[in-house]
Amino acid sequence: MRKTACLVSMVSHLRLGLGMFTLVAASTSLAACADENDPATWAKRLDEPAQRVEAIKRLDGMFNQAMGSASTSDKREDPAVKKVLDAAVEPLAKTYTTAQLDDKTRKELIKSLADMGDPRAAPAFAKAFKDYEPGKNDEDVKFASQGTTRLAKDSKLTDQNLVDALWDCFAKFQPSKAKSINLVKDLQTAVKTVKHPSYGPKAVALLSRPISNPESPEVGMDELQFWQLTAAQIVGDLKFTGAVKPLVTVLMTPTKKALTFPVRLALHKMYVEATPELVKALKGEGDYQKLAETYPEKAYLPLIAEPLAYISRPAGRDAILEALASATTDQNRTLLASYLTYFPTEPKLIKAYTDAYAKISPSSAIALLGGRNGHAVLAGNASGFFDPSLTDWILKEIASAKGDAADSMPPEGLPAATKIMTFEQAKAVGDAVAKIPGQAIEKDVYKAAFTVTEKCKKDVGCYFGVLDTPVPSSPPAAKFGHIKAVYMIVENAGADTKAKLGERIERIKDGSVRLALLEAYDHLSPQGDAAFADKLEKMVETDRGAGIAGADEMYRFALKLRSRVP
């Protein structure tokens, strides 16, 4: 070891020499000795070009060794880890920003700093972002993104220079020219995780840009799926209300239809400010008039009505009812009527729903729904009202259907009727199901539902008992017994029903049954429920971490329960 060599040299001087000169030489040798296991020793050697590469490797190794041996819950607070970080981070960052390094060494250095996750590395990360050139320092940007994300997650990102450098790199970055998908994901993740307040106006500026060449796949990748999609997510997460009008404008811009979902989600997070702006757009008023006029037959209406339905506030409900009453196309009637099921059930909504159905041609094919028959769509969606009085209506419409509708109605209408039927209506539904030729899945669905209904009738406790049994994994229709139990619980609900449903939402992991539970809880919450929305959002975080499906749906219901609160 180098320290041992120094001591041997000192002893040799003492043995061989005499007088003051020898003692001075020995003292000099002792001063030159350094502890090879001290990170400060290697940090000093970063200034020596001949030892710089080895110093970077040794400091990285010391950090990893200390992390591996750390016993504290937050490993970076372990004394041994802190000792390495305190000695190494600033000198390493200075080396990255000032020294001339070969490509391999430079990448190893920025990776080490990213792993360390220390805010003193901010100048190095900022330099990586500022120096970005496609194909030249892609790996540097990838590691700088990872390091910046770590700082943001740990609430340690305080360097505004780094915040600005990250955005500037994002705003000029083009995924179509990147060689690594990991780089694209890491940079996008960093910007969304940092979501600094200063990003709000900058994101709006990106959202407001026209798409330069809508026919180009490269432009679509860069401008739509990277810049503008990320911008929509950022303003939503920031709840930057200055973005509401630009977001609504995006919804009405045909070349940006790929952004519908993230824009709808962003607007839902700002429901108070979004609702009046969406109502204005639905009516084609103000600055939205010219955009509305570009759509033949008011085809923009479903695009604007959808987020109003998800937000589910009274002003949106009234605006959709008004638009539905004056709708002139089967497509608009079908979609606008379907959105009424998103609101708390009221007699006037059911009447508007069935009135719209009556105006739709039996042979209608709804283009936005893949050509599905309009009557079949509304028959199938009617169960969203949780109203058993619609069972007879569905059966009547199925029985009278002619032509294309006669084939389309049973597969969509009968499962809906099966969900909402009472025990007294079960025979009529069963008779309609029996008319389907062959071994149709509707028969298995009905059988599973009827078995539960016959057993429990109006006994809510019995239905909860069904929910507390394991959900069958196969055949697919078998779990319909649990789904039917949910609908019967709602139809026979008592004072404590909603709370008991909430408990099952936490316990039941099957996606289909959990969705029914969420819909039921939503139906029983006409005034919203902020406390349960908080609980759902925590469940979403847990489920996403565990890779459980359905987290997005749960988050949507959490937002609705929050936005409904008066």
Q: Give pLDDT, residue 405.
A: 86
Q: Does residue 433 fall inside a structural domain?
A: yes
* Residue 134: cis peptide before it, omega within 30 degrees of 0: no
CA distance 106 to 396: 74
Q: Does residue 265 fall inside a structural domain?
A: no
Q: Does residue 308 fall inside a structural domain?
A: no
Distances (CA, A) of 512 to 81, 221, 297, 340, 441: 47, 33, 36, 22, 16
**From the DSSP assignment, how many helices (H) and strands (E) are in the chain?**
32, 2
Which class for 130: exposed (0-12), middle (13-18), buried (19 or more C-beta within 10 A)?
middle
Which positions ≥6 away from 426 have C-beta within 8 Å? 450, 453, 454
CA distance 304 to 320: 9
The whole domain housing 391 covers 361-437
516 contacts 467 by C-beta, under 8 angstroms = no
Q: Give pLDDT, residue 549.
A: 67
Q: Does residue 447 fall inside a structural domain?
A: no
Q: Does residue 451 fall inside a structural domain?
A: no
The DSSP letter of residue 471 is P
Question: Same domain, yes or no, for 69 and 117?
Answer: yes
Pairing of strands 365-366, 372-373: antiparallel
* Polymer length of the chain: 566
Question: Same domain, yes or no, for 63 and 144?
Answer: yes
**Torsion region of 548: left, alpha or beta (phi above 0 gives left; psi -120 to 50 gives alpha):** beta
Q: Does residue 531 fall inside a structural domain?
A: no
Question: Same domain, yes or no, for 14 and 123?
Answer: no
Burial 370-387, CB ≥16 within 10 A → b, else e = eebbbbbbbbbbbbbbbb
525 contacts 561 by C-beta, under 8 angstroms = yes
394 contacts 427 by C-beta, under 8 angstroms = no
Q: Does residue 133 fall inside a structural domain?
A: yes
Angle of helix 301-311 relative to helix 314-325, nearest 10 degrees?
150
For the record, the structure tokens of 389 come out as: 């009085």
For the record, the structure tokens of 90 come out as: 């600033």
Residue type, 152: A
Calculated CA dihedral for residues 198, 204, 210, 212, nearest 10 degrees: 20
Question: Same domain, yes or no, for 7 and 100?
Answer: no
Question: Same domain, yes or no, for 26 and 122?
Answer: no
Q: Give pLDDT, residue 80.
A: 94
Number of domains in the chain: 3
3-state secondary structure 71-105: CCCCHHHCHHHHHHHHHHHHHHHHHHHHCCCCHHH
Question: Residues 500-536: pLDDT tens digits?
Answer: 999 999 899 899 999 999 999 999 999 999 999 999 9
CA distance 184 to 540: 25
Q: Phi, psi at residue 525, to the nearest 5°? A: -125, 65
Last residue of a domain, one of 421, 437, 453: 437
CA distance 12 to 96: 40
Question: Same domain, yes or no, for 52 and 3?
Answer: no
Residue type, 74: D
Q: For residue 373, what is the enclosing H or E element? A: strand 372-373
Question: Same domain, yes or no, for 73 and 88?
Answer: yes
CA distance 546 to 91: 39
Q: Does residue 122 fall inside a structural domain?
A: yes
Question: Same domain, yes or no, for 149 and 91?
Answer: yes
Question: Which residue has 């900022």 as its token pair?
Answer: 126
Q: Give pLDDT, residue 14.
A: 39
Chain centre distance of CA 66: 35
Question: Residues 297-340: pLDDT tens digits?
Answer: 999 999 999 999 999 999 999 999 999 999 999 999 999 999 99
The DSSP letter of residue 388 is T
pTM for the predicted model, two decimal places: 0.89
80 contacts 70 by C-beta, under 8 angstroms = yes
Q: Give pLDDT, residue 33.
A: 66
CA distance 199 to 205: 10
CA distance 278 to 270: 12
Question: Same domain, yes or no, for 58 and 123?
Answer: yes
282 contacts 301 by C-beta, under 8 angstroms = yes
Question: Same domain, yes or no, for 123 and 55?
Answer: yes
Question: Same domain, yes or no, for 119 and 10?
Answer: no
Q: Give pLDDT, residue 193.
A: 98
Question: Same domain, yes or no, for 1 and 45?
Answer: no
Local confidence pLDDT in tens for the 566 residues of the chain: 444 445 444 444 434 344 444 444 444 444 456 788 899 999 999 999 999 999 999 999 999 999 999 888 888 989 999 999 999 999 999 999 999 999 999 999 999 999 999 999 999 999 999 999 998 899 999 999 999 999 999 999 999 999 999 999 999 999 999 988 999 999 999 999 999 999 999 999 999 999 999 999 999 999 999 999 999 999 999 999 999 999 999 999 999 999 999 999 999 999 999 999 999 999 999 999 999 999 999 999 999 999 999 999 999 999 999 999 999 999 999 999 999 999 999 999 999 999 999 999 999 999 999 999 999 999 999 999 999 999 999 999 999 999 888 999 999 999 999 999 999 999 999 999 999 988 889 999 999 999 999 999 999 999 999 999 999 988 889 999 999 999 999 999 999 999 999 999 989 989 999 999 999 999 999 999 999 999 999 999 988 877 776 688 899 999 999 999 99
